[in-house]
């Protein structure tokens, strides 16, 4: 993928696995073609609504729903595994590593399918791409064996074959209109609810070896997807070394989102909730604690943050993608250009509360990274703390936070008060926040956040070395500033006035000369 803008995606697959006795759902969607453009099961779309293990029989049940609305029940995982139209495998005896990330199949704009496998956990030492190919070949071969039809050209035969292969299925009226994704999710929720009431679910057995890794894998997959969707840096998990350099803006693809991406609906919040419900994601509970999910535009130099995904989608679609603002049509491409972030609303409100006329920081300009040296009015004075050189990287990244430790930097506040420098603008799409900081995940209690300032010890100060702000630095939404309206306590360090005296006022730092907070002897 060399292009910065990823091709449109049409299909996303998500693996599904379940702990013994547990329930999980996900979508498993057969693509229209494999990585070589070979058509397999074109048009077949199905979702594994749920699966659970039956320890008494050792088998698993899979509830499958085909795109025409047929709900099927597969008594064994093999019956799922052997499905010719499945591009990916559900957990099985041969994938005991448990965690599999299913490749994301993107359909490029040229119509040439591409495999965008971003993250691969190799269960059996095999690359997942290889695995997919093998599976595809195996599937194709099975088709050939059974039907003597080398390449099924239409979905209909495949469907028929699926029906033949299924040991049982739950019939659904065929004349039913094709399900929308929301309907599918509702149905999935229904299935989930049904299954979750099973005693097997309520008292999961302690471990069938074959299924246990699945549970772990599922949890890990969830965890990985969540972390990747909220970490703010768009690196994949540690096992993922095959990620190409991310496009600009980075690609926020995670499992959950991939699940959602199959939908063209604008109402992704509801979907998200549904998804969380379906996945029994602990995230909502976590977020109850004043954590609000915001959606941040990842477009370069765009810091737009909206409270709703539809809003950010519309923003991306209209502002960056140049789509018609009237049209709600979404091909999902916008999803690449925004990410989900968590905002600690407590911190935010705290920051907002400081946006009062009495706030001493409201006029704080956005931290910037001036490359130039400040005009040095004191050539004889050694100032190791001033005039540091910034790397080109820090220049090119406007959102990169930089410490400014020049004598003129008194106006540049320490970049910690993100909410303070935020603009909180209500909009029709929800709350819009614009800030000049990188995507930040606010985690942990605000009380644990401390304002980081360069510590000076007397006049022997080390050159500023942590130009690149540590990650923890960015996670300082609301440095516990003194209560709004109160002054910053007077520092302990001597200031230029005391050090140099009035007679050497020209040796003072500029801030001191201007009766600003001393920048040379920072507390």
- Residues within the interface to DNA (CB under 7 A): 357-363, 365, 374-375, 377, 408, 410-411, 486-491, 494-498, 510, 512-518, 523
Task: Quickly list DSSP for 239-282.
Answer: T---PPPPPSS-----HHHHHHHT---S-HHHHHHHHHHHHT-S
- 8 A C-beta contact, residue 351 and residue 417: yes
Q: Shortest Cβ distance from residue 496 to DNA (Å)? A: 7
- H or E element at residue 60: strand 59-66
Q: For residues 55 and 360, which CB has a smaller minimum distance to DNA in the complex?
A: 360
Which of 186, 464 has the CB closer to DNA?
464
* Rounded Cα distance, 16 and 216, in Å: 12
d(CA 88, CA 258): 15
d(CA 432, CA 295): 9
Two structure tokens written together for 340: 């989900």
CA nearest 42: which of 190, 207, 125, 152? 152
| Beta carbon of residue 505, minimum distance to DNA (angstroms, whole number) | 10
Nearer CB in complex with DNA: 254/303: 303
Length of the chain, in residues? 523
CA distance 386 to 354: 30
- Using only C-alpha atoms, the chain has a radius of gyration, in whole angstroms, of 28
Where do we find the tokens 């900081």?
A: 437
Least Å distance, CB 449 to DNA, is: 19
Measuring CA to CA, how many Å separate 504 from each of 132, 339, 387? Answer: 75, 53, 22
Q: Which is nearer to DNA, 263 or 359 (CB)?
A: 359
Min dist CB 91 to DNA, Å, is 56
Supply the DSSP symbol for 358.
Answer: T
497: phi then psi, degrees, rounded to nearest 5:
-60, -45
Least distance in angstroms from the C-beta of 372 to DNA? 8
Shorter beta-carbon distance to DNA: residue 288 or 490? 490
At residue 348, what are phi and psi to the nearest 5 degrees? -65, -45
CB closer to DNA out of 160 and 376: 376
**In contact, 84 and 40? CB cutoff 8 Å:** yes
Nearer to DNA, 291 or 511 (CB): 511
Tokens 């100060």 found at = 461
Choice between 428 and 503, CB closer to DNA = 503
Handedness of CA 435, 437, 443, 446 (dihedral sign): negative
Residue 371 CB, shortest distance to DNA, in Å, is: 12
Q: Which two tokens stand for residue 304?
A: 């737009």
CB of 426 to DNA, least distance (A): 24
Quote the least distance from Cβ 522 to DNA, whole Å.
8
Closer Cβ to DNA, 180 or 365, answer by number: 365
Q: Contact at 8 Å (CB) between 135 and 100?
A: no
Q: How far is the CB of 501 from DNA (least distance, A)?
A: 8
CB of 453 to DNA, least distance (A): 11
- 292 or 497, CB closer to DNA? 497
Nearest to 208 by CA among 52, 73, 100: 52
Cβ 420 to DNA shortest distance, Å: 11
- The b/e string for 411-438 (b: 16+ C-beta within 10 A; e otherwise) is ebbbbbbbbbbbebeeeebbbbbbbbbb
The least CB distance from residue 517 to DNA, in Å, is: 4
CA-angle at 29, arms to 24 and 30, nearest 5° = 140
Nearer to DNA, 470 or 491 (CB): 491
H or E segment to which residue 351 belongs? helix 345-353
Taking the C-alpha atoms of residue 288 and residue 151, their distance in angstroms, rounded to an integer, is 50
Residue 494 Cβ vs DNA, minimum distance, rounded to whole Å: 5
Distance CA 481, CA 420 (A): 10
């Amino acid at each position: 993928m060399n292009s910065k803008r990823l091709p449109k995606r049409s299909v996303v697959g998500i693996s599904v696995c379940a702990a013994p006795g547990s329930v999980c759902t996900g979508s498993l969607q057969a693509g229209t073609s494999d990585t070589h453009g070979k058509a397999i099961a074109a048009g077949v779309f199905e979702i594994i609504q749920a699966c659970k293990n039956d320890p008494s029989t050792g088998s698993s049940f899979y509830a499958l729903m085909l795109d025409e609305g047929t709900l099927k029940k597969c008594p064994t995982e093999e019956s799922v595994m052997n499905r010719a139209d499945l591009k990916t495998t559900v957990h099985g005896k041969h994938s005991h590593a448990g965690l599999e990330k299913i490749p994301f199949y993107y359909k490029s704009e040229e119509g040439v399918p591409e495999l965008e496998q971003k993250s691969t956990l190799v269960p059996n030492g095999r690359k997942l791409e290889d695995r997919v190919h093998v599976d595809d070949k195996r599937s194709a071969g099975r088709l050939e064996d059974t039907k003597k039809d080398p390449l099924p050209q239409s979905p209909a035969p495949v469907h028929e074959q699926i029906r033949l292969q299924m040991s049982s299925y739950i019939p659904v009226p065929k004349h039913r209109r094709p399900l929308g994704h929301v309907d599918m999710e509702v149905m999935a929720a229904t299935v989930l609810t049904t299954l979750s009431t099973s005693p097997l679910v309520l008292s999961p057995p302690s471990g069938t070896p074959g299924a246990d890794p699945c549970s772990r894998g599922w949890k890990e997959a969830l965890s990985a997807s969540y972390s990747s969707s909220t970490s703010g840096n768009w690196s994949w998990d540690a096992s993922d070394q095959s990620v190409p350099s991310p496009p600009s803006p980075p690609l926020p693809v995670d499992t959950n989102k991939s699940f959602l991406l199959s939908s063209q609906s604008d109402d992704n919040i509801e979907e998200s909730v549904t998804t969380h419900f379906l996945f029994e994601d602990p995230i909502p509970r976590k977020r109850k604690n004043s954590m609000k999910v915001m959606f941040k535009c990842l477009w370069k130099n765009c810091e737009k943050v909206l409270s709703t995904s539809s809003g950010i989608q519309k923003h991306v679609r209209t502002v960056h993608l140049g789509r018609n603002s009237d049209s709600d049509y979404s091909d999902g491409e916008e999803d690449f250009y925004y990410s989900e972030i968590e905002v600690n609303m407590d911190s935010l409100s705290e920051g907002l509360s400081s946006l009062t006329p009495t706030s001493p920081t409201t006029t704080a300009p956005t931290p910037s990274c001036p490359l130039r040296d400040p005009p040095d009015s004191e050539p004889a004075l050694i100032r190791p703390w001033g005039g540091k050189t910034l790397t080109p990287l820090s220049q090119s990244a406007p959102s990169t936070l930089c410490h400014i430790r020049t004598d003129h930097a008194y106006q540049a506040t320490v970049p910690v008060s993100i909410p303070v420098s935020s603009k909180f603008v209500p909009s029709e799409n929800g709350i819009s926040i614009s800030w000049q900081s990188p995507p930040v995940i606010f985690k942990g209690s605000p009380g644990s956040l401390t304002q980081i300032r360069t510590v000076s010890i007397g006049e022997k100060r080390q050159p500023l070395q942590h130009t690149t702000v540590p990650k923890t630095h960015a996670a300082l939404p609301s440095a516990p500033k003194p209560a709004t309206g109160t002054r910053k306590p007077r520092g302990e360090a001597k200031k230029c006035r005391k050090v140099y005296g009035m007679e050497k006022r020209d040796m003072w730092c500029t801030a001191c000369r201007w009766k600003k907070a001393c920048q040379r002897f920072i507390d």
